[in-house]
């Protein structure tokens, strides 16, 4: 059993030994000002030299500045391996820490701190130092001897191959004189490339959409009705003849295959006070849908046009040709045709008028069957107009009467201010 008295005595003795004068701390400013080198913290990746290996310290010739004065190179040679390191340049060890080494003087019991720069040391095997150069030289000698044999004893085909290789060989030294010219030429051409903002502005101008006001603060001012339907066209829409048809009003439309237009006109006619403004707009959409079905090769055939369009006012028809068809250049006679861009423009015109009728928030799928297009194409056209495709509200889902997966697929096309178009695509997605 341990003696408690002895234990207490040892503890007291130990406590007395630790007591005494405090250790003095100092920073080796005098050594720095006197130019005394070292110490250094060296990092050796891979092979470490023997501890007895002496290292030499060199100071590169640099301009007088505080940072450049601290640059050092250390070097050692073991006979077979060379070790070289430096605390500046590409091979310098990067870090944000500053290291110091504490040196304690046993006589004065003073601790001195000295800066210790970190240097990454690289090794080079002396016997392999020029191996790459020798290998390259040997390879050149081999090909030169091979070409000499080929020219002396080779077939005609081999001789042609040797001459072709010699003609196409690039002399790197001759490129030095033109390197600056090439660089200037590249800089001049790249400086002429359009900026991202310019690319977007150009893409916005080329959109197949109706005239728009990018600075509009109200959604109804983005696509004004007068730009979609001119006042003269609006007045010529024969709404009276449609009202006179009563229950047979749909038969007066040139395009009777639109569920959206037919249901809307039927609902507008079922009330006592007829909303002639809405009926005019729906009739105009029907004209656009009918004009879209005219075969491209029959656009200038009056009989086909009469059969498809019916009694559409001539001014409206002329405006359709001006807006939605192109005239090929160089032809002997005037001929109209649909282009992919003009077809998209016609579709955007239909959707823009429909958005106006639906208070700029409508079911994105309502036109899919009427226009015989996929939902992805319809969504793309809505986005071209500046619409956002989003989920409908809970009340809108309830009003649709759909449930399950069908309700999940419901999307709304919503036009808001400020008007924003999607960014132009940068090309196909990388695989």
* Long-range pairs, 248-255, Cβ under 8 A, ≥24: 253/283, 253/286, 253/290, 254/286, 254/287, 254/290, 254/308, 254/309, 254/310, 254/312, 255/286, 255/287, 255/289, 255/290, 255/293
Determine the average pLDDT of the residues in 348-372.
92
Instruction: Give the domain ranges of the chain.
Output: 23-128, 219-414
Q: Is the pLDDT of residue 261 over 90?
A: yes
Query: Rounded CA gap, 347 and 338, in Å?
Result: 12
Q: Is the pLDDT of residue 201 over 70?
A: no
Q: Which helix (H) or strand (E) holds 104?
A: strand 100-105
Determine the average pLDDT of the residues in 20-32.
58
Q: Is the pLDDT of residue 381 over 80?
A: yes
Determine the average pLDDT of the residues in 275-289.
94
pLDDT tens digits for 212-256? 998 899 999 999 999 999 999 999 999 988 888 877 889 889 999
Question: What is the largest distance, in Å, between two alpha-carbon atoms of the chain?
Answer: 128
Query: Rounded CA gap, 357 and 260, in Å?
Result: 12
pLDDT tens digits for 313-345? 999 999 999 999 988 776 546 688 999 999 999
What pLDDT is attached to residue 41? Answer: 83
- Residue 206 contacts by C-beta under 8 Å, 6 or more apart in sequence? none
Q: Is the pLDDT of residue 12 over 50?
A: no
What pLDDT is attached to residue 60? Answer: 78
Query: Rounded CA gap, 355 and 378, in Å?
Result: 13
DSSP per-residue string spanning 30-99: HHHHHT-----EEE-SS----TT---EEE-----S-TTGGG--EEEEE-SSEEEEEESSSTTSPP-S---
DSSP per-residue string spanning 170-226: --GGGGHHHHHHHHHHHHHHHHTSPPHHHHHHHHHHT-SS----TT-SSGGGTS-HH
* Confidence tier at 14 by pLDDT (50, 70, 90): very low
Whole-model pTM? 0.54
What pLDDT is attached to residue 17? Answer: 46
What pLDDT is attached to residue 175? Answer: 65
Q: Is the pLDDT of residue 294 over 60?
A: yes
Rg for the chain (alpha carbons), in Å? 43
What pLDDT is attached to residue 242? Answer: 87
pLDDT tens digits for 134-170? 555 667 777 788 888 888 878 888 888 888 887 777 6
Query: Rounded CA gap, 49 and 55, in Å?
Result: 10
Q: Is the pLDDT of residue 2 over 50?
A: no
- Residue 250 contacts by C-beta under 8 Å, 6 or more apart in sequence? 256, 262, 265, 266
What pLDDT is attached to residue 360? Answer: 93
Query: Rounded CA gap, 229 and 352, in Å?
Result: 11
What pLDDT is attached to residue 163? Answer: 83
What pLDDT is attached to residue 7? Answer: 40
Q: Is the pLDDT of residue 4 over 70?
A: no
With vertex at residue 72, the alpha carbon angle to CA 67 and CA 75, rounded to the nearest 5 degrees, is 170
* Confidence tier at 424 by pLDDT (50, 70, 90): low
pLDDT tens digits for 41-62? 888 877 788 888 888 888 877 6
On the CB side of 216, how many CA atoms lie within 13 Å of its CA? 17
* Confidence tier at 397 by pLDDT (50, 70, 90): low
Q: Which two tokens stand for residue 160?
A: 């042609």
Asked whether the beta carbons of 87 and 94 are under 8 A apart, the reply is: no
Tokens 């003849």 found at: 241
Task: For residue 286, give the nearest of 322, 260, 318 by alpha carbon.
Answer: 260
Determine the average pLDDT of the residues in 92-101.
75
What pLDDT is attached to residue 431? Answer: 46
Asked whether the beta carbons of 407 and 397 are under 8 A apart, the reply is: yes
Instruction: Give the SS3 label for residue 18.
Output: helix
Q: Is the pLDDT of residue 65 over 70?
A: no
What pLDDT is attached to residue 291? Answer: 95
Q: Is the pLDDT of residue 132 over 90?
A: no
- Residue 27 contacts by C-beta under 8 Å, 6 or more apart in sequence? 112, 113
- Residue 265 contacts by C-beta under 8 Å, 6 or more apart in sequence? 242, 249, 250, 253, 279, 282, 283
């Amino acid at each position: 059993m341990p003696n408690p008295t002895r234990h207490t005595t040892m503890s007291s003795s130990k406590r007395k030994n630790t007591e005494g004068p405090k250790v003095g701390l100092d920073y080796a400013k005098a050594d720095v000002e006197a130019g005394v080198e070292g110490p250094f913290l060296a990092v050796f990746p891979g092979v470490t030299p023997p501890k007895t290996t002496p290292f030499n310290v060199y100071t590169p010739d640099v301009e007088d500045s505080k940072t450049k004065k601290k640059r050092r190179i250390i070097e050692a040679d073991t006979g077979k391996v060379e070790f070289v390191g430096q605390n500046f340049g590409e091979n310098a060890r990067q870090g944000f820490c500053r290291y110091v080494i504490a040196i304690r003087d046993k006589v004065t019991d003073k601790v001195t701190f000295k800066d210790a720069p970190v240097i990454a040391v690289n090794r080079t095997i002396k016997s392999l130092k020029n191996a790459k150069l020798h290998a390259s030289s040997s390879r050149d000698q081999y090909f030169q001897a091979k070409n000499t044999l080929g020219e002396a004893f080779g077939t005609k085909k081999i001789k042609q191959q040797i001459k072709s290789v010699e003609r196409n060989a690039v002399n790197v030294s001759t490129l030095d004189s033109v390197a600056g010219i090439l660089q200037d030429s590249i800089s001049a051409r790249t400086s002429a490339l359009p900026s991202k903002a310019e690319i977007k502005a150009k893409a916005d101008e080329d959109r197949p959409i109706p005239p728009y006001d990018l600075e509009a603060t109200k959604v109804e001012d983005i696509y004004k009705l007068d730009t979609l339907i001119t006042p003269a066209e609006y007045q010529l829409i024969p709404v009276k003849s449609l009202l006179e048809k009563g229950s047979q009003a749909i038969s007066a439309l040139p395009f009777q295959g639109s569920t959206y237009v037919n249901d809307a006109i039927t609902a507008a006619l079922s009330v006592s006070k007829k909303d002639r403004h809405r009926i005019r707009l729906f009739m105009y959409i029907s004209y656009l849908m009918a004009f879209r079905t005219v075969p491209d090769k029959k656009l200038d055939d009056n009989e086909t046009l009469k059969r498809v369009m019916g009694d559409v006012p001539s001014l409206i028809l002329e405006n359709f040709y001006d807006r939605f068809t192109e005239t090929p250049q160089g032809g002997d006679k005037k001929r109209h045709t649909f282009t992919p861009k003009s077809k998209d423009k016609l579709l955007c015109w239909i959707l823009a008028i429909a958005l106006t009728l639906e208070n700029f928030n409508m079911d994105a799928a309502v036109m899919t069957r009427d226009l015989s297009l996929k939902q992805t194409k319809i969504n793309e056209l809505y986005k071209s107009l500046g619409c956002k495709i989003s989920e409908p509200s809970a009340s809108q889902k309830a009003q649709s009467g759909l449930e399950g997966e069908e309700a999940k697929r419901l999307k709304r096309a919503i036009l808001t201010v400020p008007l924003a178009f999607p960014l132009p695509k940068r090309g196909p997605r990388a695989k």
